[in-house]
Amino acid sequence: MDRTVARLAAGLLGLGLLLGGGYVYWMRTSQGADQFAGCRGGAVASGGATLGGPFALTNGAGARVTDAEVIAGPTLIYFGYSYCPDVCPLDLARNAAAADLLAEQGTDLGLLFISIDPERDTPEVASEYAAYIHPLMVGLSGSPEDVAAAAGAYRVYFRKAGDEPETYLMDHSTFSYLAAPGHPFLEFYSSDRTPEQVAESVACYVAAL
């Protein structure tokens, strides 16, 4: 190898080390700015920070409660409705199972059900439905305006499907949202996540709080 080639090789090696070191530094500093970097799921978009926000709804006792009152610790939030024939009870049961798994580990996870069908789900109905799924699950409803505001904060899609006054269905998105005091949105979980996967993810966030 002549001197020119040797110098070129040495220069490329130095550049590679410099870029590599810069990348490692960027990774460390960028992750260090986010206390939950090690917990973030691959599906969490950069716009996730804009999810969540203040809301006020009504509980089964008829009291108006705010997000600050019902999210007293790490909490899974689900938007659905009591007449849902399939996905809602399955997702809520999954969330309840995840909470029970975490309870065995000494971690409390709040469970919140918010109805997107205030026409049929009065606060009393929403509360009874939630308690049927899990005794510690809180069920909330309210006026159409209050429900729309809460759903809008989490960008939840919902729409009435059908005209039958008693048997209509609701089209809606089916994510469960993890929130905590001071953190209206941490993570979301799709319906295909298992109780074990949700519990493991939540445990990571709890440890980082």
In 3D space, the residue among 73, 99, 77 whose CA is nearest the CA of residue 199 turns out to be 99
Is 41 a domain residue? no
Is 99 a domain residue? yes
Do residue 79 and residue 165 come from a single domain?
yes
Report pLDDT for 6: 41
Interval 130-187: pLDDT, tens:
999 999 999 999 999 999 999 999 999 999 999 898 999 999 999 999 999 999 999 9
Do residue 53 and residue 80 come from a single domain?
yes
Q: How big is the CA angle at 46 (ends 42 and 50), to the nearest 5 degrees?
A: 120
Do residue 26 and residue 99 come from a single domain?
no
Residues 6+ apart with CB under 8 A from 33: none
Angle between helices 123-133 and 87-104 (to 10 degrees): 60
Report pLDDT for 48: 56
In this prediction, residue 1 has a pLDDT band, given cuts at 50, 70 and 90, of very low
Do residue 26 and residue 86 come from a single domain?
no
Report pLDDT for 33: 67
> Which residue in this structure is represented by tokens 């439905």?
129
CATH at 65: 3.40.30.10
Report pLDDT for 26: 35
Do residue 183 and residue 105 come from a single domain?
yes
pLDDT at 23 over 80: no
Do residue 78 and residue 116 come from a single domain?
yes
| Torsion region of 52: left, alpha or beta (phi above 0 gives left; psi -120 to 50 gives alpha) | left
Domain that residue 29 falls in: 1-33
In this prediction, residue 15 has a pLDDT band, given cuts at 50, 70 and 90, of very low
Report pLDDT for 27: 36
Do residue 53 and residue 146 come from a single domain?
yes
Q: Residue range 101-128: average pLDDT?
A: 98
Hey, which residues does 177 pair with through a beta bridge?
Answer: 77, 188
Do residue 95 and residue 137 come from a single domain?
yes
Is 156 a domain residue? yes
In 3D space, the residue among 72, 86, 57, 75 whose CA is nearest the CA of residue 172 turns out to be 86
Do residue 3 and residue 102 come from a single domain?
no
- Find the range with the poorest average confidence among 13-27, 90-104, 146-160, 189-203: 13-27
CB 156 within 8 A of CB 77: no
Do residue 179 and residue 76 come from a single domain?
yes
Is 10 a domain residue? yes
Do residue 21 and residue 101 come from a single domain?
no
- What strands lie across the sheet with 110-115, from one edge to the other? 137-140, 110-115, 75-80, 176-180, 183-189
Report pLDDT for 5: 40
pLDDT at 24 over 80: no
Burial of 15 per CB tally in 10 Å (0-12, 13-18, 19+): exposed
Q: What stretches of the chain show up as alpha helix (H) in DSSP?
A: 3-32, 67-70, 87-104, 123-133, 144-153, 195-208
Is 38 a domain residue? no
Report pLDDT for 191: 97
Is 64 a domain residue? yes
pLDDT at 25 over 60: no
Interval 38-88: pLDDT, tens:
998 754 444 555 899 999 999 999 999 999 999 999 999 999 999 999 999
Tally the domains of the chain.
2
